[in-house]
Structure 1
């Protein structure tokens, strides 16, 4: 079964063709990073307009790259939420019109579930059940994944997401957007032990996160230490990054022990941070727990993961009607 996936939840317009939920036939992503970089973050109205400009040629390119036509497609999957309403409407409305015109089933995909499904696109995916972290600029959630489509939320951030904290700290330090890659690159030149930042909620008997206090601690340090000569900026970046990594790793390992899982999967934009991946893998290995993570091409928003989750939904007859709408937030 060939599924055409469409993604437009934030600042990437993407289309992909995936076969039987596991084989990527094509994946095309049009990024808006350069457009939003001068603003230090995504401007929703600009994002929506850019989706409108490129969505049709991106879908055409994905079909051509896969070597198929619309006549070969068995179903369509599009991101329904969560995300920016205007941006979501572009992709979901396009998908609804296409599904109606071609008389194809349509799956309205939860963006967070799709990130977890990106792990199923690996050559050696994690076996069920496993613990999964979806970590990005908008979300930091831990799930117990018991089987296909069976996601139980265990914990989430109570304020800033981890990726959002990276972006805001990078902006404080005058670094480029997006902040994650800029912080990681600078941190490689610093010593994470030089400047100690707080690790929030580690003593709490839950799997929730809080990064606003850490962000404030960095802002306070920068204010009290205006002289950023020599290697101080690198030490700040390294100390901040390690604080985030320590919290994420500790919570994930605790969740795995709590649910007796021997596998942890991480997905979302922050999973592209290889310092995090390597540190978590080393710590997990000490407990005989294996860590799975997607390649860089599947870390950020993409349509292959949307198609993979959509294949499961269409297979199980979880399809949308023309009257269904998008949503900005979701509660598990």
Structure 2
């Protein structure tokens, strides 16, 4: 019977558990979004940690039974750097280490960022990515473009462009909450934007990209969006312009980075990159770049534990081959 790998991820806003077999069949992949009070724009780490501890037993209770778990892989830190730390990941780490001890199985600690990359590779079907490629990680907690080098298990990630203030997901959430949407506001903002015919938008209504070399600023776009709302511009139009501005900013940065770094492919991950409007505009902006663009379906772009389960299985297979 095929071995199984269990993945656990406890990020800023989602508790996630996944189970994968040796053939990379995703047996189980579920997450529970953390609750944020109406009108609030985020959670304190202590509150998020408490919710993770509450959610994890619920997710484990639904795991399929009758097959052996051979390895448990969990997110220990936000990025693959020794000094990278965030308290929320302690919930997943504690459970993973406890389960591994009780079951007497191998455990593997990785980063949340590597989890996103591995899940996006799986979701986009881009298994044949070059040894070095670019990866976009745009979410509520991160807005970075990375130069990624494959390792036997996991990835080395060098930040080659990043936000200088707000993250893209924060921009979306702040404007969404300002419009009366619940947090996180990504889906609500996209729904509002989809009601708009882009060609009908007044050319004077615009939110421009603010660049700092290949880095970028999103706080200026927040100010521009607020100004449009105060001027009475339709909320759907402002929602579309916010998403368009993020896509244009990202495209400009990738285009500039292409001239400086040795990558031919770009992999997109993070909750922001599950937005269909942003995907469409980025693809249009970069269609003549010669780059191969790999977008992942929403379930593998947003926070999930699928990447950890897959890296755990990569680890299990490598150990078996080395015996």
For the criterion TM > 0.5, the same-fold answer is yes
d(CA) in 2 for partners of 1:156 and 1:166? 17
Distance 1:21 1:247, change over 3 A: farther
1:199 aligns with 2:200: no
1:172 aligns with 2:172: no
Partners of 1:15 and 1:304 within 8 A in 2: yes
Displacement of 1:36 after TM fit? 4.0
Pick from 130, 133, 138 the counterpart of residue 135 of structure 1: 138
Partners of 1:10 and 1:84 within 8 A in 2: no
Give the TM-score normalised by the residue count of structure 2. 0.84
Secondary structure (helix, strand or coil) at the match of 1:285 reads: coil
Distance 1:119 1:58, change over 3 A: same
d(CA) in 2 for partners of 1:270 and 1:84? 22
Give the TM-score normalised by the residue count of structure 1. 0.82
d(CA) in 2 for partners of 1:137 and 1:284? 24
Distance 1:123 1:174, change over 3 A: closer
Secondary structure (helix, strand or coil) at the match of 1:240 reads: helix
Displacement of 1:127 after TM fit? 1.1
1:276 — aligned with what?
278
Higher strand share: 2
Pick from 301, 304, 307 the counterpart of residue 305 of structure 1: 307
Superposition RMSD in Å: 2.5
Deviations 1:101-130 (A, max 9, x none): 222222122101111111221362151132
d(CA) in 1 for partners of 2:31 and 2:266? 27
Displacement of 1:166 after TM fit? 0.5
1:210 aligns with 2:206: no
d(CA) in 2 for partners of 1:104 and 1:239? 50
d(CA) in 2 for partners of 1:84 and 1:179? 26
1:222 aligns with 2:229: yes
1:104 — aligned with what?
105
Pick from 69, 72, 93 the counterpart of residue 76 of structure 1: 72
- What is the correspondence of 1:1-332 to structure 2 with a 5 Å cutoff? 2-20=4-22, 22-33=24-35, 35-37=36-38, 39-62=40-63, 64=64, 68-69=66-67, 72-82=68-78, 85-122=86-123, 124-125=125-126, 127-128=129-130, 129-148=132-151, 149-190=155-196, 191=198, 193-201=203-211, 204-205=212-213, 207-223=214-230, 225=231, 228=232, 232-312=234-314
Displacement of 1:97 after TM fit? 0.9
Which shows bigger deviation, 258-267 or 191-200? 191-200
Displacement of 1:260 after TM fit? 4.1
Partners of 1:131 and 1:263 within 8 A in 2: yes
d(CA) in 2 for partners of 1:153 and 1:22? 29
d(CA) in 1 for partners of 2:93 and 2:74? 6
Deviations 1:16-42 (A, max 9, x none): 112348432221212234x54453433
Distance 1:213 1:313, change over 3 A: farther
Deviations 1:260-285 (A, max 9, x none): 43321100101111111112122322
Partners of 2:161 and 2:253 within 8 A in 1: no
Unaligned runs of 5+ in 2: 79-83
d(CA) in 2 for partners of 1:194 and 1:232? 13
Distance 1:51 1:256, change over 3 A: same
Partners of 1:2 and 1:19 within 8 A in 2: yes
Aligned residue pair count: 303
d(CA) in 2 for partners of 1:313 and 1:257? 35
Distance 1:316 1:250, change over 3 A: farther
Distance 1:158 1:21, change over 3 A: farther
d(CA) in 2 for partners of 1:279 and 1:314? 39
